[in-house]
Structure 1
């Protein structure tokens, strides 16, 4: 399966997918979706669509500081979850962070999200958990085993 990240062009697609995927976690915590916050962050983040064999299947979003890449979102359409796309996307995400000269990759995930298992399999380690929100990190080595191109 060929997985590629391409610069995202449709904010509404990304927002709709993210809101839909996160709704059960937000409902559990009485969090109200804030469309204005999503829109404001869109311009500040590095946004990509995820394609599997040429078909758009999700979105991934990043922010950065001098030494860290922050994985802000990794969202797959429900019909494409559990097919290995998330795992292959994480390999590309790690390489993306390395290309940004980051020394670590950070993410946050709700504790009951099944993706926690995938992150642990990919060697992310939990650093903290507060109110059911887990922060995980992946320490990046200097080796560069993958190569991706930005489209």
Structure 2
């Protein structure tokens, strides 16, 4: 069965929060930022939440928002055993397709400056459009 994005429910929030914390905590420490569980839970309520599923196994999740110009990838995390298998690339391509279906010209994300995932994003057509002391803002033109 191919990779699927399936709508997450509130029952999946704890899984997604834990996965995000485990993936991102080192960057929070590196840049002297504070992880706030309540902020994650609040964002859960207003963002689109999707489970990344293959053969009925949950491999990760992504969190999205959008405005009139772009589909924003707010979170994209995979469990350890799902990494380095091309799954991230497949998800990014599916999200680019969603942006096109929604007639949005851009797919955007923000990534920690030291996160090696930047290389994946560049391979998938994202370009740097800004940065600050902690983050790089990237986008991919759709169409």
Please give the alpha-carbon distance, in whole angstroms, between the structure 1 residues aligned to 2:114 and 2:34: 18
Partners of 1:54 and 1:92 in 2: CA distance:
18
Corresponding position of 1:101:
103
Find the counterpart in structure 1 of residue 7 from structure 2: 7
User: Could you tell me which residue of structure 2 aligns to residue 87 of structure 1?
Assistant: 89
CA contact (8 A) 2:61 2:78 kept: yes
CA-based RMSD: 1.1
Q: Provide the residue aligned with 1:125 in structure 2.
A: 127
CA shift digits 1:46-99 (9 cap, x unpaired): 000001232100001100111211110110012211111101111111111112
How many angstroms apart in 2 are the aligned matches of 1:140 and 1:90? 12
Q: List runs of 5+ in structure 1 lacking aligned partners.
A: 142-151
Q: Identify the match of residue 62 of structure 1 among 38, 61, 64.
A: 64
Answer whether contact 2:31 2:134 (CA < 8 A) is retained: no
* Structure with the bigger percentage of helix: 2
TM-score by length of structure 2 reads 0.94
| TM-score for the superposition, normalised by structure 1 | 0.89
Matched residue pairs, number?
141
